[in-house]
Amino acid sequence: MREELYYKPSGGAPFFGLMITMIVGTLGGAVLSIIYALVSITTTLSSTSL
């Protein structure tokens, strides 16, 4: 296999792009975290002993 013929990511990571990545990714993750917490609490809290 001739590696030079295949695409390789340049490794480019612009600072502004990284900021967008973190903001967008964390916002999406925040929404998912609410759903996950609701699923977790409804499936595990039935036998709470607190």
Partner 1 sequence: MIATGLFGAGCGGCAVFGLSLGKVRGRLTNAFAGFIIGFASLYLAWVWYLFLAARDSFGQGLFFFDTSAMFSFMQLIAANGMWEIGGATPTGGALYTIWVIEAFIVLIPAILIAFSADTPFCEPCNQWSEESACSVTFRAPEDLDQFRQSLEDENYSPLFDNALLSPEDVCLHAKIHRCPKCDGSTWLEVEQVRTWLDDKGEAQSSKDTVMKHLAISRQYAEALLALLPDPSGVISEESPATQNDLVEEGFQDEELG
Alpha-carbon distance of 37 to 30, in angstroms, equals 10
Binding mask 9-28 for partner 1 (x = CB under 8 A): xxxxxx-xxxxxxxxxxxxx
Q: Token digits for 16?
A: 């502004």
Distance in angstroms (rounded) separating the CA atoms of residues 5 and 2:
6
Give the shortest CB-22-to-partner 1 separation in angstroms. Answer: 6
Q: How far is the CB of 44 from partner 1 (least distance, A)?
A: 4
Give me the residue label for tokens 């609490």: 41
Cβ 48 to partner 1, closest distance in Å? Answer: 6
- Contacts to partner 1 by CB under 8 A: 1-2, 5-7, 9-14, 16-30, 32-41, 43-50
